[in-house]
Amino acid sequence: MNTQGLSLIANRTSTTALIAALAAAIVATGVVSPVRAQSAAAEGQRIAFDRSKGNCLTCHDIKGGNLPGSIGPKLENIKAKYPDRSELIAILTDETKRNPLTVMPPFGRNRILTEREINAVVDFLQTL
């Protein structure tokens, strides 16, 4: 094989490695497509409104929900109130760590919701 052929193989290998590295970086940084974000938010809304799962409407007034409660605060402007997504995840996982007197159930600690479900609910809350 001549040097031109070797150069072509090296360039293809470099391009493949570059594409693989970029794909890994996108996955690692958590960049999500708009379609994925919309479906996750829709799943989160379903969980939040499900009386046997998230059951958020028992205590909170949430746009689009029926028969909301008034024990907890109205859930609106969430992204502005909690710009750090990890804070919302912590609240849903176990609010008693932040506020020992809360009546909010520790959804993660008590395994009421899975980590995936908590993330979906956070996706939904950030649309409010």
Same domain membership, residue 87 and residue 43: yes
Same domain membership, residue 39 and residue 27: no
pLDDT tens, the chain, 128 aa long: 555 544 545 455 566 665 665 555 554 555 555 555 568 899 999 999 999 988 999 999 999 999 999 999 999 999 999 999 999 999 999 999 999 999 999 999 999 999 999 999 999 999 99
pLDDT for the residue 6: 44
Number of domains in the chain: 2
Same domain membership, residue 38 and residue 25: no
CATH number for the domain harbouring residue 92: 1.10.760.10
Alpha helix positions (H), the chain: 3-29, 34-49, 78-81, 85-94, 115-125
Same domain membership, residue 10 and residue 51: no
**Nearest-CA neighbor of 86 among 31, 128, 126?**
126
Angle at 92 between CA 91 and CA 93, to 5 degrees: 95
Dist. CA 128–CA 76, nearest whole Å = 5
Residue 6's domain spans which residues? 1-31
Dist. CA 32–CA 10, nearest whole Å = 32
Same domain membership, residue 68 and residue 112: yes
Same domain membership, residue 42 and residue 60: yes
